[in-house]
Chains A and B, each alone.
Chain A
Amino acid sequence: MSDTKAAIRLWTKAQMRLGFRAGSPVILISMVSALLGAGQMWCLASVLGPVLARTMAGGGAEPEAGMADGVPLWGVAGFAVCALLRVVAGIVSEGLAARAGEVARRRLRRDVMGRVVAHGPALLRRSHSGAFAALIVDRIEAADGYFSRWVPASVLWMAIPALLLVCAFAVQPFAALILLVCGAAVPVCQAVFGIGAAVASRNQFLAMTRLQARFLDRIRGIATIVLAGRAEDEARRLAEAASDLRVRTMKILRVAFLSSASIDVAMVVALIGIALADAHGVSGIQAMISAHPDHVAAPAAAVTRGMFVLLLVPEYFAPFRGLALAYQDRAHAQGLASSVLELPELAEREAGAPLQSVGPEGVSVAFEDVSFTWDPARGQALSDVSFAVPAGQALILSGVSGSGKSTVMELLLGFVRPGSGRVLFSGTDLRDIAPDSLARMTSWIGQRPVLFAGTLRENVLFARPEATEAELFTALRAAAVDRFLPSLPDGLDTPVGEGGFGLSGGQAQRVAIARAWLKDAPLLLLDEPTAHLDPATEADVFESLRRLAARRTVIMATHSGAAEAISGHRVVLSGGCVVRGSEV
């Protein structure tokens, strides 16, 4: 458990370093913007100072028409210019922050997708494909704020106050001292309340996630709930879960808000402290004025300085607030970290014999005492399985579900490696064959072919995008896809897959056959290709498969009687062992 925590910390730290690289322009521009803010306030004070000093000299009398003479109008212009520049800086830094988030999300997505693809289907045994989609799309999307807000804020909350402190010190050392003390009190208060709040916000995030997950799960299964007559029950339980979440979260927020209240307190204290301290200093200025009523320049400068530090207070505390606001973004990144770390690392290929290419003609396949274990708790999925298929012949694997048929298929596809024993393709150990060479050698048709979002043409061409139109039509005819083409609204250009036209199971299987035909690989792996079809369709599909199987090495896992359409060796698996092998 502490290992995972350490791993999460390590991961977020690494991400933070990467985030700084993209985030440093944001930080720089934000600091420039803060300096411009100080400039604004200085201009503001420079206008107000002389006017105040003059009013003072006039004994607090109402101003007259001639008052404006000698008041620096450059201050007004300066304020306007600084404001304009500051707004531009703000726009640029916001845009750059968005880009930093973008860069990070792109990098994370590529990393995670790379891992998922490299690890392959074995991952899907552990998690639902929807969970991966949620990770790659939603959770990474949610981590945007970590890079666009939290990373800059984590520097700026110290950098900007330090910068402003220097400005304040140059002008009014006593006020700078007040700011320093109040500013330093913020992290101290954060430490006192903040540790709890950090833990709290993480827990709240978890609780929230759990509530969302529960709600989503119940909504997905709503038909089951309604038809079981439990709708009212579940609605009540949902309400209870939500109110439980509220009670727990509020307990946490009571503390968490204290930490932001501490910023408020610090700011109010600084504001009042400076206002009062300045007011004391003012009596000295008044003495100055009463001594020399005509020389207002020196007292005016003093008033300007006092005004400036007062105006600086809100600017000084703004970055603290920014940090508090970005706190939630940090929790998102930590949530992401734990999901990403569950994925296996990109494995380096173990050194060994150099990868070999196996000629595409006539592949023979052999299993030599192959054992494999998915999960040690459940025992071996395959134990000492041996069989051999000569090139151009067929092997039918049968057995009940869980007997190891699918494991044999996964091994043949190279998705997993045998625990012991060897899988040989034309005498070469599978682990020594380059992955792309292996992919060129094999065609595979599973139980439910996946149709990708796109047109039917794209789905068939998926097997070999560079195929000519003539080759495509040969494949379509051989797989009997041409038989149902006329019933599709746009023929070959009908969109299928997610959100497209729904093909029936038999039609989808024909698309898979057309893919295999187009690929024209010497080894054909069939994993219960008709498991979900009705008998009439099944017979039809087998007819197409038989044509496809001619002159190829075929290994088919099936439980169907119609499989007799394809003749070959038969191997019956039971409990991961070969119980019967026969020649037909």
Chain B
Amino acid sequence: MMRGRRKSSEALADLAGQEEALTDVAAIREVVGLWKPQRVRLVTGVVLSVVALGCGLALMRGAGLRYSGAVTGALVVGSSALAVLGVCRVVFRYAERLYAHGAMFRALADLRVWFFRRLAGGAAAGLGFRRAGELLSRLVSDIEALDGLYLRVLLPAVAACVILPVLWFALARYDVPLASAVVLLFLVSCFVVPVTAMRISRQEGGVQLQALGRLRVGVLDLVSGIREIRAFGSEERMLGRVREADEELMRCQAALAWRMALADGVSRLCGYGAVVLLLLAVTGTGFSVLPVVPAVGLIFLVLAGFESVSSLTRAGMLSGMMGAAARRVVAAAGPEERRVRAGGGALLPAPEETDIRFDSVTFRWREDGPKVLDRLSLDIPAGSRVVILGPSGAGKSSLAALLLKVVSPEGGRILLGGADLASVSDVSVRQRVAWLSQATHLFDDTIRANLLLGRPDASEDDLWRALDDAAVGDVVRELPQGLDTWLGEGGVRVSGGQGRRIALARTLLSGAPVLLLDEPATGLDSQTEMEFLATLNRVAEGRTVILIAHRLTGVEKPDYVWKISEGQAILVS
């Protein structure tokens, strides 16, 4: 637990470094770039929205013209034209909404799948390996924040770009100074105010996010530390702490809400200001006289035009937050994976043999961090049972990460069946080496689905055999829904020991010739732990078993015991 926390803060520091190298615009551009396959759909959505907007504007202007025209006796707009515009407005608005939402859902799916692939393929697999669970959750909420980019930011922005020239041309025909003044007000409303909102939200958003983070930490402390809190009778004190964090968040939010309301007000004032200008022109005050019949149409047009961009203030605020979210997401996804090695040759499949050899391996998690392994060498012959011992932090987990090719050594080589791991493809390494640790994740899915992750084509019998081998078959048989029992988030519906055994069953099912068990019995009581380790002696016949532990319990029957100390491996027996 403690170690996981330290490593996740290191991972955070790593990410922060990559984040700084990115600008908001570059990050958003990269996200938008992902939508290329949906380009046609997204553009169609934009076009439809523009047409719907045009119909709406024309309808409002037409209604005004129709009335004023009738009064003055000049038929400017026919009733049928008005009806057609009305129908078009309704139909296009409906089509636009439907289409834009469809496109947005596709884009949303693309973004998630892209992120998953990148994270799976890149250095961030190490991130997951280092158990930065909270960090990953934050990234997921960042991705959710990006969902609104198209619908709530892009579409209103395009609408503004369309309305601007329409206003200009409609007004400049009569009076250029008037047109300039109205367009100026429009620019304030659809550009200056939203950009200000974006600035504010980027500043305040950061503060607000921190406050939210503090609240979250406070609540997590309150819930996960509930035993301590109850045992020490400090409920009121801890609740008070959370309330303080809550109040601080509320203060930030209230400040932001007032400023946004103000920005919104300014934007609306611009719209009304434009109408005042038109009225002055109609009465011939300050501007050359505007003929009244078109003026009525223009007033309707201006009212509708400003109304259509009123959502831009909010869009500005959202985009301020999205910039930061996009930056974090792009930074975490990391650069495109290089499939081809620097030497030029493609990666090879792993050889059949599974002798493992660490040859003078040096490794550190971060470039400026301390050396975890320092010219470490050790041998693990195929089919042998090896225990690797060492206190916490000695580099045992680093050894596992290296062998799984989650990270690469700074110096030295790791050989699998005589081939340098650096030249072997990740996938084939992981087909040879199956991994089980306390960080092994049980998915919020059925037991069956969790097991099938180990081998998708396993038969029902295979599943039961694996469960029995892991000594959890009887437990599963007793469950009312058997294999189809839902495990729940993080496997919370079964006990810790049972969950670990289900994870073991999954590992056994994979059929990999090398089992890499990184403190697999942590958190189990001694008897369960011994049974668990004894199970391993029985089921893993013929496979290489590498057990990483901080102590021997006595039931293991290792062929070799290595001890890691000061970055080196010493053969103990």
Per-position 1/0 for A485-514, Cβ under 8 A of B: 000000000000111111111011000000
Query: What residues of chain B lie closer than 8 Å to A102, measured between beta carbons?
Result: 250, 253-254
Q: Is the CB of A113 within 8 A of B239?
A: yes
Query: What residues of chain A lie closer than 8 Å to B261, measured between beta carbons?
Result: 90-92, 94-95, 98
Per-position 1/0 for A402-424, Cβ under 8 A of B: 10000000000111000000000
* Shortest distance between the CB of B105 and any CB in chain A (Å): 4
Per-position 1/0 for B107-134, Cβ under 8 A of A: 0110011011101110011001100011
Q: A65-B284, A120-B230 are in contact. Are A239 and B222 (CB under 8 A)?
A: no
What's the Cα separation between A76 and B105 when bound, in Å? 47
Query: What residues of chain B lie closer than 8 Å to A581, measured between beta carbons?
Result: none
A326 within 8 A of B: no
What's the Cα separation between A106 and B129 when bound, in Å? 37
Q: Is the CB of B276 within 8 A of A76?
A: yes
What's the Cα separation between A250 and B41 when bound, in Å? 15
What's the Cα separation between A279 and B124 when bound, in Å? 69
Query: What residues of chain A lie closer than 8 Å to B223, measured between beta carbons?
Result: 116, 124, 129, 132-133, 136
| Contact pick for A224, options B67, B212, B441, CB 8 Å | B441
Q: Is the CB of A233 within 8 A of B456?
A: yes
- The tally of CB-CB contacts under 8 A between chains A and B is 442
B492 within 8 A of A: yes
Closest to A378 in B: B478
* Interface size in chain B (residues, C-beta < 8 A): 156
A218 within 8 A of B: yes
Q: Is the CB of A446 within 8 A of B71?
A: no
B268 within 8 A of A: yes
Q: A217-B443, A261-B90 are in contact. Are A498 and B5 (CB under 8 A)?
A: yes
Stretch in contact with the other chain, from A16-24, A270-278, A348-356, A386-394: A270-278
Q: A94-B261, A401-B524, A452-B225 are in contact. Are A535 and B289 (CB under 8 A)?
A: no
A63 within 8 A of B: yes
Stretch in contact with the other chain, from A6-14, A50-58, A547-555: A50-58
Query: What residues of chain B lie closer than 8 Å to A314, measured between beta carbons?
Result: 60, 303-304, 307
Query: What residues of chain A lie closer than 8 Å to B134, measured between beta carbons?
Result: 498
Chain A 210-235 residues near chain B, CB threshold 8 A: 212-231, 233-235
Q: Is the CB of B221 within 8 A of A452?
A: yes
Chain B 64-109 residues near chain A, CB threshold 8 A: 64, 66-68, 70-74, 79, 82-83, 86-87, 89-90, 93-94, 97-98, 101-102, 105-106, 108-109
| Contact pick for A282, options B70, B112, B120, CB 8 Å | B70
Stretch in contact with the other chain, from B28-36, B175-183, B319-327, B427-435: B427-435
Q: Is the CB of B94 within 8 A of A91?
A: no
Q: Is the CB of A216 within 8 A of B113?
A: no
What's the Cα separation between A86 and B403 when bound, in Å? 68
What's the Cα separation between A413 and B261 when bound, in Å? 51
Query: What residues of chain A lie closer than 8 Å to B293, measured between beta carbons?
Result: 52, 55
Q: A222-B120, A227-B404, A272-B82 are in contact. Are A52 and B292 (CB under 8 A)?
A: yes
Q: Is the CB of B234 within 8 A of A99?
A: no
What's the Cα separation between A121 and B392 when bound, in Å? 29
Q: Is the CB of A127 within 8 A of B492?
A: yes
Query: What residues of chain A lie closer than 8 Å to B5, measured between beta carbons?
Result: 498-500, 502
Per-position 1/0 for B204-229, Cβ under 8 A of A: 00000000100111111111111111
What's the Cα separation between A532 and B74 when bound, in Å? 91
What's the Cα separation between A167 and B260 when bound, in Å? 31
What's the Cα separation between A76 and B284 when bound, in Å? 12
Per-position 1/0 for A37-59, Cβ under 8 A of B: 00010001001100111011001
A436 within 8 A of B: yes
What's the Cα separation between A525 and B264 when bound, in Å? 59
* Interface size in chain A (residues, C-beta < 8 A): 161
* Binding site secondary structure of chain A: helix
What's the Cα separation between A102 and B143 when bound, in Å? 26
Q: Is the CB of A439 within 8 A of B525?
A: no
Q: Is the CB of B2 within 8 A of A503?
A: yes
Closest to A144 in B: B253
Q: Is the CB of A90 within 8 A of B430?
A: no
Q: A137-B216, A264-B93, A436-B233 are in contact. Are A130 and B116 (CB under 8 A)?
A: no
Stretch in contact with the other chain, from A184-192, A251-259, A327-335: A251-259
Q: Is the CB of A453 within 8 A of B221?
A: yes
What's the Cα separation between A234 and B106 when bound, in Å? 18
* Shortest distance between the CB of B164 and any CB in chain A (Å): 21
Q: Is the CB of A67 within 8 A of B276?
A: no
* Shortest distance between the CB of A122 and any CB in chain B (Å): 10
Query: What residues of chain A lie closer than 8 Å to B291, measured between beta carbons?
Result: 62-63
Q: Is the CB of B246 within 8 A of A109?
A: yes
A265 within 8 A of B: yes
Q: Is the CB of B233 within 8 A of A98?
A: no
Q: Is the CB of B292 within 8 A of A117?
A: no
Closest to A440 in B: B233
Query: What residues of chain A lie closer than 8 Å to B136, measured between beta carbons?
Result: 216, 219-220, 222
What's the Cα separation between A55 and B70 when bound, in Å? 12
Query: What residues of chain A lie closer than 8 Å to B133, measured between beta carbons?
Result: 220
Q: Is the CB of B285 within 8 A of A286?
A: no
Q: Is the CB of B242 within 8 A of A90?
A: no
* Shortest distance between the CB of B203 and any CB in chain A (Å): 18
Q: Is the CB of B283 within 8 A of A272?
A: no
Q: Is the CB of B243 within 8 A of A110?
A: yes
A173 within 8 A of B: no
Per-position 1/0 for A299-327, Cβ under 8 A of B: 00001001100110010000000000000
A177 within 8 A of B: no
Query: What residues of chain A lie closer than 8 Å to B276, measured between beta carbons?
Result: 76, 79-80, 83
B44 within 8 A of A: no
Q: Is the CB of B116 within 8 A of A219?
A: yes
B296 within 8 A of A: yes
Q: A216-B137, A231-B117, A279-B66 are in contact. Are A223 and B231 (CB under 8 A)?
A: no
Query: What residues of chain A lie closer than 8 Å to B116, measured between beta carbons?
Result: 215, 218-219, 222, 231, 234-235, 238
Per-position 1/0 for A166-202, Cβ under 8 A of B: 0000000000000000000000000000000000000
* Shortest distance between the CB of B119 and any CB in chain A (Å): 6
Q: A48-B296, A221-B441, A245-B105 are in contact. Are A279 and B70 (CB under 8 A)?
A: yes
B335 within 8 A of A: no
Q: Which of A76, A120, A258 has the most CB of B within 10 A?
A: A76
Q: A116-B222, A442-B231, A534-B391 are in contact. Are A52 and B296 (CB under 8 A)?
A: yes
Chain B 276-317 residues near chain A, CB threshold 8 A: 276, 279-280, 282-285, 289, 291-293, 295-296, 299-300, 303-304, 307
* Shortest distance between the CB of A85 and any CB in chain B (Å): 11
Q: Is the CB of B264 within 8 A of A91?
A: yes
Q: Is the CB of B265 within 8 A of A401?
A: no
What's the Cα separation between A452 and B456 when bound, in Å? 42
What's the Cα separation between A63 and B282 when bound, in Å? 10
Q: Is the CB of B296 within 8 A of A501?
A: no
Query: What residues of chain B lie closer than 8 Å to A440, measured between beta carbons?
Result: 233
Q: Is the CB of A117 within 8 A of B393?
A: no
| Contact pick for B105, options A249, A279, A400, A413, CB 8 Å | A249
Q: Is the CB of B121 within 8 A of A47?
A: no
B139 within 8 A of A: yes
* Shortest distance between the CB of B182 and any CB in chain A (Å): 15
Q: Is the CB of A117 within 8 A of B239?
A: yes
| Contact pick for B117, options A76, A235, A401, CB 8 Å | A235
Query: What residues of chain A lie closer than 8 Å to B430, measured between beta carbons?
Result: 226-229
For this complex, 21 residue pairs linking A to B, each with C-beta atoms less than 8 Å apart, are: A55-B72, A91-B265, A94-B260, A98-B254, A137-B215, A137-B216, A213-B489, A219-B116, A220-B133, A223-B441, A229-B431, A230-B456, A242-B113, A268-B87, A275-B82, A401-B497, A440-B233, A450-B228, A451-B2, A499-B217, A525-B231
Closest A-B pairs by Cβ, 7 of them:
A439-B233, A502-B6, A221-B441, A242-B109, A223-B128, A98-B257, A279-B70
Contacts A222-B125, A233-B456 aside, 17 further interface pairs with beta carbons under 8 A come to A63-B289, A83-B269, A113-B219, A116-B226, A117-B230, A117-B239, A220-B133, A220-B136, A227-B404, A276-B79, A279-B70, A310-B67, A450-B221, A452-B225, A515-B232, A528-B525, A532-B523
